Amino acid sequence: MHTQRSDHLGARLSTCSGFAAPKPSMRGLLASLLLACLLGGCAATASHDQLYQDLGKLDGITRIADGFLYYIGDDERVVEFFAETDIDRFHSKIIEHICAVSGGPCRYTGDTMVDVHRGMDISEAQFNAIVEHLIQAMNDEQVPTRAQNRLLKLLADLHGEITGRAG
């Protein structure tokens, strides 16, 4: 389903990029199409929220968050961190966070990554364990690998803020 969506995107983009060498007789028509493309089609299709779409929008992200929490709860390497956590809040903030970083229509209203994780002294192994659970949850939802990698890259950029260490 996701593949079809990106195939569709590819097809629409290549339609739009075919304006490079128009035949003179076609110029008027192509100019109109180009205008339509710029005003609506292409701009809307090559959208900033492609990752959000590939994650399955809010429903998909909610299911990913459900799985993520489930895997964390089952992992003794990290579960202790969450002993005092308000799980409902964590669940909703994670959804907001993933929605916002993936370009979705959400505003993250939680605390900053630095404030939340300050003093937790999270090791590399523990950080990786959390990432592993996110990957597992995305696999369960059949998120395409390319989309997974895009999200992981965005989250990897937060490594320093979360662990307090560069890298």
Give the interface with ligand HEM as residue ranges (CB under 6 A): 78, 81-82, 84-85, 89-90, 93-94, 97, 110-111, 116-117, 120, 122, 126-127, 130-131, 155, 158, 162
- 16 or 102: CB nearest ligand HEM: 102
Write down the least CB distance from residue 56 to ligand HEM, Å. 18
Residue 153 phi/psi, 5° resolution?
Answer: -65, -45
- 8 or 118: CB nearest ligand HEM: 118
Write down the least CB distance from residue 11 to ligand HEM, Å. 34
Give the ranges where 18-165 is alpha helix by DSSP (H): 27-36, 42-45, 50-54, 57-73, 87-101, 113-117, 124-140, 145-156, 159-163
Write down the least CB distance from residue 158 to ligand HEM, Å. 6
Nearest alpha-carbon partner for 65 in 6, 117, 106, 13: 106
| Chain centre distance of CA 141 | 13
- 126 or 136: CB nearest ligand HEM: 126
Give the CB-nearest residue to ligand HEM: 110
Q: Exposed, middle or buried: residue 89 (CB in 10 Å: 0-12, 13-18, 19+)?
A: exposed
Nearest alpha-carbon partner for 97 in 155, 48, 33: 155
- 33 or 75: CB nearest ligand HEM: 75
Write down the least CB distance from residue 119 to ligand HEM, Å. 11
